[in-house]
A and B are shown apart, each in its own frame.
Chain A
Amino acid sequence: MSKELLRYLLTRFGQLLLIIFVAVSINFIIPRLLPGDPVQTALARLQATGGAQNVDIQAVSAAYRAKYGLDAPILEQYFNYWLDLFQLDLGVSFANFPEKVSTMIGNALPWSVTLLAVATLIAFSVGSLLGARLAWPGSGRTIKSIVPLMMILTSIPFYLLAIILIYFFAVVLKWFPPAGGVDTTRIMRLDWATTEDILRHAFLPCLAIILGNVGFWALGMRSQMVSVLGEDYITFAEAKGLHPNRIFVWYGMRNALLAQVTALALSLGSVVSGAVLVEVIFNYPGLGSLLYVAIRGQDYFVIQGVVLMLIVSLAVLLFLVDLIYPLLDPRIRR
């Protein structure tokens, strides 16, 4: 078995590397196809804020181009891009010169990762459990009545949900702050006040993502569970005189989850892109907001850095799911 397992792992790892290579290349090309000149934009902004009066724009522009290597032939730029990547050098932001892109991403990453991981995990587990109960013949009418609610939730895009949540909980009820990751006046320390502040800010974005996803997981799990419950091994488990709870978890959910995990792997992309929008709406200091601002300012290196980050983390997540899957399904372990 171990030999096959090793081959499986190596194949998957090879795929991971290939995905990253393609992603990096595409990521290099795409921003260079965008209309507009980033250097001009950056300079125009400088001028507008009064930072660059009486300067020879042409000269500065040329200097910038030379500095960032935008004058070099495209292949050379591409080669340099790879070289820089290996040194974790993602360039410098135009808009927030001279801040390094890697620093900006480093600051934003923990916010996004925590928010997304927690929200997705909650949505996935709550949704799957709900869906399984929905399909279980033993569950009551109350739980079955939430099906329409789930359907409505899945059909509302979660940025819309976010706006509704902000309106009710932040504007009308004022229970939670409407935006940001933490109070602007707060000095970050490792104490309860800071933690509470962060949690309060994270609550609404988290809720938006959970509500937007839970219906999807619940409905998916329900249909999986219905088909699993029709299997012969469920009848046989009943014939063995097992407790219904044991059948529900170890014979029902355990098998229905296989397809759910596959669905999780497949939907990670949309989960991430959806979360980007949620971050923008809540002005959450994560990668999503960073990307949004960068696109508006045509901040080349930041866009590249964030998108690369997203793609690589997606590829790594998929790789992890592939690693977990054989643990869940012994039939894959060969």
Chain B
Amino acid sequence: MTDKTKPILVVEELNVHYDTGKGPAKAVSDVSFSLLPGERLGLIGESGSGKTTMATALMRLTRAPGRIAGGSVKLDGRDILKMSTRELRETRLRDIALIPQGAMSSLNPVMRLEEQMIDAIVAHKPGMRRAELDARVQELLKNVGLAPEVARRYPHELSGGMKQRAAMAIATSLSPKVIVADEPTSALDVVVQRQVMQTLGRLQDGLGAAVVLIGHDMGLIAQFADTVGVMYAGKLVEIGPVRQMIESPKHPYTRLLVDSLPGIEVKRELTGIPGLPPPLVDLPPGCSFNPRCPLAFDRCVRETPLLQEVAPGQSAACHLYPEHAALPPLPPMTRAHQELRP
């Protein structure tokens, strides 16, 4: 078995840029993290924070005008970004699999589900016989809670939740070591969301695979993940164990994200985070969050903060540390803040 204390996935200084007329948009910049076998990492961020770009880069699926500008993604010690195309093809699905964001449109509309599943398996195990393949398809469908007859259907004959499950069945067909789930529940209603997340959890338990779950729903991610990473403007601004991240976030942005979660016990006015994320081609100097940060001081405008350990297992990229032991209380939001625009 794999060593449970040795990371299965190590991402270092990953940079993904989109080339635009105004220079590169740094959708992912200097992101580093690692994942132990069986660990569940949740990556959370607003739209445009680089989450999906990151997910695709982990599988080297980045497409023009995007390009991976640097860094490494080591899967079991082998750098995905340096593999030959053949090696890469063999690694995809077998070692690292993607559960796509738009499961609605991720299935080929003109092929039966079983054909698409068999396609994936045969690409990696060319010698398998038809009977074995059929048996495997049935097993996979059962694992994700789909009825056997679904195999013969076309994607348009499946509901959104079924398509998402089908995509999960395909992603897990070769028992990968790492699963990258890119907002697997977007566009699904909450009931189906819950079912899909439960299925994902069950699959993950069964396979012992590590999961990178990407999303924007703090509640959903908090329920699923062991570790939570927060992305802002292409950077990882804080990462740590889920409980610590919720109970004592260290980065002001994480604090604001957690505070914006609606509670059931205490009815209060919903709060958001004033302002919008900065344009990625034109990031503010220093910390990208400084224009929206209620605690920003002069250093934040001059210097880009680096990720540093602020509590056991928890790191944040913020100039408040190591001077402060914990995040100071945020000042109440002023009217000026409410009207803030980047």
Contacts and interface: CB of A to CB of B under 8 A. Distances in A.
A238 interface: yes
B110 A238 contact: no
Given A235-B100, A239-B97, A246-B123, A330 B61 contact: no
A235 B120 contact: no
Interface stretch (A12-20, A85-93, A197-205, A248-256): A248-256
A258 B89 CA distance: 28
A288 B254 CA distance: 76
A241 B101 CA distance: 18
A67 interface: no
Interface string A217-247: 0000000000000011101111111110010
A100 B109 CA distance: 52
Interface in B88-129: 89-94, 97-98, 100-102, 105-111, 119-120, 123-124
Contact of B109 (A233, A236, A239, A240): A233
A250 B108 contact: yes
Given A232-B100, A235-B61, A330-B154, A241 B109 contact: no
B170 interface: yes
Given A330-B156, A331-B156, A239 B98 contact: yes
B106 A242 contact: no
A164 to B, nearest CB: 39
Instruction: Using C-beta atoms within 8 Å of the partner chain, give the interface range for chain A.
Output: 20 to 34
Nearest to A234: B108
A232 B106 contact: yes
B110 A236 contact: no
Contact of A240 (B56, B102, B120, B156): B120
B106 A233 contact: yes
B123 A242 contact: yes
B119 A238 contact: no
A329 B276 CA distance: 43
Contacts of B109: 233, 255, 329-331
Q: Which of A232, A237, A239, A329 has the most CB of B within 10 A?
A: A239
A238 B107 contact: no
B108 A240 contact: no
A237 B91 CA distance: 14
Which of the four size classes fits the interface of chain B?
Answer: 20 to 34
Contact of B123 (A231, A240, A255, A329): A240
Given A233-B107, A330-B110, A241 B170 contact: no
B154 A331 contact: yes
B233 interface: no
Nearest to A258: B110
B167 interface: yes
B154 A243 contact: no
A241 B110 contact: no
Contacts of A233: 105-109
A242 B92 CA distance: 9
Nearest to A238: B61
A333 B175 CA distance: 35
A137 B107 CA distance: 21
Interface string A266-308: 0000000000000000000000000000000000000000000
Interface in B320-337: none
Ranked nearest first, the 6 interchain pairs of A and B with the lowest CB-CB distance are A241-B92, A239-B98, A240-B120, A236-B106, A232-B105, A330-B154
24 contacts: A232-B100, A232-B102, A233-B105, A236-B100, A236-B106, A239-B98, A239-B100, A240-B120, A241-B89, A241-B92, A241-B94, A242-B89, A242-B119, A242-B120, A242-B123, A243-B89, A246-B119, A246-B123, A250-B108, A255-B108, A255-B110, A258-B110, A328-B110, A330-B154
Given A236-B98, A250-B119, 17 more contacts: A232-B102, A232-B105, A235-B56, A236-B106, A236-B170, A238-B61, A238-B92, A239-B171, A240-B93, A241-B120, A242-B120, A246-B119, A255-B108, A255-B110, A329-B109, A329-B110, A330-B154
